[in-house]
Structure 1
Amino acid sequence: MKLACWNIRGFHKPLKQRGVQTLVGTQHIDVIGILESKFDDKALQNLLRIRFPGMKATHNFDMSNKGRIFVLWNPTRVDLTTVCLTDQVLHARVKCLMTQKEFCISFIYGFNTIVQRRLLWNDLIRFGANCSSPWILLCDFNNVLTPDEKQGGLKVKNYETKDFVDCVAILDLLDLKFSGCFYTWMSPKVCSKLDRVLVNQAWLSSDLNGHTEFQAPGCLSDHTVSIVSLLEDQKQKPKAFKFFNMWTLSEKFLDLVLDRWKFEGYGTCQYRLKQLFKGLKKPLQTLNRQHFGNISSRAAAAKRRLEELQRNMLHTGTILDEYKQLKRKTEIVMEAERLFIAQKTKINYLK
């Protein structure tokens, strides 16, 4: 099941309509909220007939003359019932017809000023106080949550974020895990995280799971499109093979490489090199499992054993035969831990 939300800023242009139609079709979107459409009810009905036949729609056009929020859904896969409407939010209840899972959903488009947005925060707090179900919010708040969510332009002041921070704290909301773009809106000089997907604690304790991908908007908008995937198979994909520098500390490493660096066959130089590396993959994985698995735990245990032996020797004044060998093994495993952490930190930094 997939949900989406997009601030498209004016939906009269055929290029934008075609773009959303393609998104719904290629991504298999079941529910999508369109923000700042500047549509009216008549234009929406024509759009459904031409671009989205078979889909149903709801909107808050009666609350605002600027076509702020409308929602499309596929009635063959989803049952959506509108619960409450204001000029800044559309609350609904969704039922997945395939899994029978139910949850609350809110599509939000906040006003531009702090004073106007206070009505939104109050509405969300009221709705959240009466919502015990899993709840997901797909939003363009027109507001950042922290100062580091804006780059360029004037610095963010505390009074600009205070109401938003208080609302999130009161409702105990968290960002749904996400990938893709961090900043979700851009102008020629400013990037900000105005769009986000939030969930409540009931959602986290449910089996709905979910993951958001913020995709670049292309020429259709200055906001990213938010795509939420729910109820997908949670089986982990096999992890890609990675070479760890700590393996070179093993006495068996060079012998293992020399023994496995063989390939009898034909092909291009690139193909033969690939086969040589492929022959090393399983032996190195075995080496890692036997000698470097849970390296931090191994290092801590080796350090404890060495310190215990040192205390006994310093207490009795007797130098034990195994001390030199144990000290060497502890140095190797602690150096292996250091290399592992350094390599992992470098990868995270590069990302």
Structure 2
Amino acid sequence: MNGCYANCSNKIWIFWNFDVSCSIYANEDQLVTCKVEHNPSNSFYFISVVYAKSTSSGKEDLWGYLRALSSTIDHPWAVCGNFNSIITSEEKQGGKPHRLNKSIPFIECLQDCGLMDMGYVGCNFTWCNERSHDQIIWKRLDMVVVNDNWNGLFPITEVLHLPRVSSDHCPILISYGNQNENHIKYFRFLNFWVDQDDFLEVVKSNWINHTEGNVMWNIQQKMKNTSKALSNWSRNNIGDIFLKEQQMGDLINQYEESYLQTLNEDDRMMLHKYKAELIVHHKKVDSYWRQKANLKWEVEGDNNTKFFHSVIRDRRSRLHIHRIQEGEDWIEGEENIATAAINFYQDFIFSGQYHH
């Protein structure tokens, strides 16, 4: 990262790179507000990051900070983070029943500030106390709320709950204003390949192939053959590391949802198994982004933070509709969604239900 900031309580850390101009607009113990500008655009917006206290009296100060900010910000504004509060009883499962009066101060604050919940994709809860059986509690403590100006500037905004792996909270990925990129893909050697068991065998078996010609021609042909073989090997044996990451995350969410409903010990063991596998897989993703950014770390940092940043940079919102539900299955991807929509209306018309 090119820039960083820690707030006065040292509990909120913010990192950014040179793709944006970021300045601290306000700093409180539970709230940091940044003014963000994408170069060379002249438009700017505000993002507030929240880490709320757990006590009602402590959160009263936070609600006051937000009301004061709303009176000074007349631009696109998003507030995200751990509010340590829920809006409805459906955002909690387990433990004592939620009392609605505990939500009223939070709800009134959002209304006074003109902020609305952006919703989410993924698991229904963002926090778990990780206890067992009758003592386990899930809550949606983390969320993203925005004002009307934000929706005007970023009509395509998606909030994704990523799998909980190394924390009792799940990371939240916010995608907004991304555009499709068309570019030529060239061969690139990925550093994490060398950690795979069959990597050397692929290189050796293709490098020793006999070629005719002078020395430089032979070297060029060997490199060409080996790079092509490595690309095919990576595609067939490793696959799309980001797609696999998403699939592993879906499995984690699936078993967490199942465990949430049944408290079955087998589901709990499978949940921990896939979490462990995802932690190992994160090392590949982290290696990819280190290499892409052409940065070197002498001291290992917080892998969660680097992973979170890498996903933000990689994810592209291709459509206003990010996914649709067909029966009990979710369909994602531009072509899959288009095919499903065409099939639906064709079946609808040919079934005789449509009348002109």
The CA deviation at 1:60 is: 1.1
User: What secondary structure sits across from 1:183 in the alignment?
Assistant: coil
- Look up the match of 2:102: 160
TM-score for the superposition, normalised by structure 2: 0.51
Alignment partner of 1:71 is 2:5: no
- Look up the match of 1:209: 156
- Look up the match of 2:147: 200
Q: Which amino acid aligns with 2:55?
A: T
- Look up the match of 1:169: 111
For the residues of structure 2 that align with 1:116 and 1:241, how far apart are their CA atoms?
41
Aligned residues: 201
The CA deviation at 1:108 is: 0.4
The CA deviation at 1:205 is: 2.1
- Look up the match of 1:112: 54
Q: Which amino acid aligns with 1:195?
A: D
Q: CA, structure 1 residues 292+58, in 2 after alignment: closer, same or farther (shift >3 Å)? A: farther
Q: Which amino acid aligns with 2:57?
A: V
The CA deviation at 1:178 is: 2.1
For the residues of structure 1 that align with 2:342 and 2:157, how far apart are their CA atoms?
36
- Checking the alignment, whether the CA contact within 8 Å between 2:117 and 2:144 is kept in structure 1 is yes
Alignment partner of 1:59 is 2:2: no
- Checking the alignment, whether the CA contact within 8 Å between 2:154 and 2:176 is kept in structure 1 is no
Q: Which runs of 5+ in 2 are unaligned?
A: 180-316, 328-339
The CA deviation at 1:292 is: 6.1
For the residues of structure 2 that align with 1:282 and 1:114, how far apart are their CA atoms?
47
Alignment partner of 1:232 is 2:193: no
- Look up the match of 2:298: none
Alignment partner of 1:186 is 2:128: yes
For the residues of structure 1 that align with 2:325 and 2:67, how far apart are their CA atoms?
47
The CA deviation at 1:57 is: 0.7
User: What secondary structure sits across from 1:148 in the alignment?
Assistant: helix
User: What secondary structure sits across from 2:178 in the alignment?
Assistant: coil
The CA deviation at 1:283 is: 10
- Look up the match of 1:330: none
CA deviations 1:111-144 (Å, max 9, x no partner) are 1100110000011011012211010111101111
- State which of 100, 115, 137 in structure 1 corresponds to 2:79: 137
CA deviations 1:242-272 (Å, max 9, x no partner) are 79xxxxxxxxxxxxxxxxxxxxxxxxxxxxx
Alignment of 1:66-105 (within 5 A): 67-74=10-17, 76-97=18-39, 99-105=41-47
CA deviations 1:265-307 (Å, max 9, x no partner) are xxxxxxxxxxxxxxxx9996784475569x6xx56x8xxxxxx
The CA deviation at 1:217 is: 2.0
TM-score for the superposition, normalised by structure 1: 0.51
The structure, 1 or 2, with the larger RCO (C-alpha pairs under 8 Å, 6+ apart) is 1
Q: CA, structure 1 residues 150+178, in 2 after alignment: closer, same or farther (shift >3 Å)? A: same
Q: CA, structure 1 residues 284+142, in 2 after alignment: closer, same or farther (shift >3 Å)? A: closer
The CA deviation at 1:197 is: 0.8
The CA deviation at 1:206 is: 2.2
Deviating above 3 A after TM superposition, structure 1's stretches of 4 or more consecutive aligned residues are: 98-101, 233-243, 281-293
CA deviations 1:74-99 (Å, max 9, x no partner) are 1x211101011110000110112265
For the residues of structure 1 that align with 2:125 and 2:99, how far apart are their CA atoms?
18
- Look up the match of 1:254: none
Looking at CA atoms only, which structure, 1 or 2, has the larger radius of gyration?
1
Q: Which runs of 5+ in 1 are unaligned?
A: 1-51, 244-280, 302-351
Alignment of 1:244-323 (within 5 A): 287-288=346-347, 290-291=349-350, 298=354
Identity percentage of aligned residues: 22
